[in-house]
Structure 1
C-alpha cells in the first residue's frame, strides 16, 4: 500500500512540475517585440492581439515634422504597413501612390493609404540627432510613449511580432503608457 501511495505522490509531483513548466515557458501571448540589434535579447515588448494596429511616429530629420507610419499585426505574425502620413515632400517621402494605393491631402497632411507592405520583421533606429520617435497603440490610438523612455537615442532594434511565454513577460520590459 505504501508503494502505491508513493507512486501516487510522485505522479502528482511530476504532473505539477509539467504544468508549471508549461505555464512558465510555453509561448502563448502575442506581443510586438523589440530585440536589441541582431540579437535575441528582448529590450522591450508591447502586448498586442492579432489584427490590432500600432503606429510609429518619427520626426523627419530635415523638415522636423512628424511622419506617421501605421501598421497592423497579421494572423501569421507578420506586420502590414497600411498607411503613411506626412507634411512635406522630400528625402524618404513618397510623392504619389503606387497601383492599388490612394494618395490624398487631408487636414494639411499627405496620406498614402491602402498600402500593402508586409514585413516578417522591421529594423528601426531610435533617432539620435532628433530623438522624438514614438509608439502609439490602442483602440483609438489612446496610448503613446516616447522611444527614449525605453531605448537610448541612436539605438537600433529588430521589431517582430511573436508569442512570448509567461517567463519572458515576467523578466522583460513591458511597454506601458
Structure 2
C-alpha cells in the first residue's frame, strides 16, 4: 500500500513538473508581438551576442536602408550601424557623438552606434513592402552563413509590431511561428 501511494505521489509530481516545464521561459528569441498586444506573431531564436539586420526600401528614394543590431545579455537590442545610399527624410546626415560617418562603395555608413532599446516598434512597409530580416546561422559570423527572409512571408503589408528579446517557454515555441530560412 505504501509503495502504491509513493508511486502515485511521484507520478503526480512528475506530471506537475512536466507541465510546469512547458511554461518556464528557457530559450531566448527576437519576438515579434502584434501591435500593442502580447500576441506573438513570430519569433527568431537568437542568443546574447547574436546579430541581425532589418533591411527596408525607403519609401521616398526607393533604395535599401540596412540597420544592424546585436542582442545583448541584458535582453536589450543594440543598434550599431546604419547603411544607406541617399540622404533624405529620416536618414542621418552626420554621426552623433562617439559614432563615425563614412562613405564606402557608394553607400553612407554610420558606424559605432551605441543605441539601446528594450523594445522597438516596426511596421512592415505598406506602400513599399520590401522589409527583410537577416541573421547569421552560426557563431562564426561569416556572410556565407547569413540567412534572410522577407517580412511578407510572415506578416501582412502595413502591419505594426513590437520587437523584444525575451526568453520563451516551450509552450510559446509550439504555439508561435518560428522564423526560419
Normalising by structure 2, what TM-score?
0.94
Q: Given the alignment, which residue of 81, 84, 87 partners 1:86?
A: 84
- In 2, the alpha carbon distance for the partners of 1:43 and 1:119 equals 20
How far off is 1:108 after superposition?
A: 1.0
State the alpha-carbon separation in 2 of the partners of residues 151 and 10 from structure 1: 47
Cα drift, residue 24 of structure 1: 1.0
Post-superposition CA distance 1:128-151 (Å, at most 9, x none): 010000000013351000000000
Q: Structure 1 residue 111 and structure 2 residue 109: aligned?
A: yes
Structure 1 residue 151 corresponds to structure 2 residue 149: no
Match of 2:175 in 1: 171
Aligned to 2:52: 54
**Could you say which residue in structure 1 is the equivalent of 2:164?**
160
Question: Counterpart of 1:56 in 2: which secondary structure?
Answer: strand
CA positional deviation for 1:16 = 1.1
Give unpaired runs (5+ residues) of structure 2: none
3-state SS of 2:54 partner: strand
Instruction: Find the aligned partners of 2:77 and 2:166 in 1 and give their Cα distance.
Output: 11
CA shift for structure 1 position 15: 2.3
In structure 1, list runs of 5 or more residues that go unmatched: none
Which of 25, 32, 36 does residue 34 from structure 2 map onto? 36
- Offset of residue 5 of structure 1: 1.4
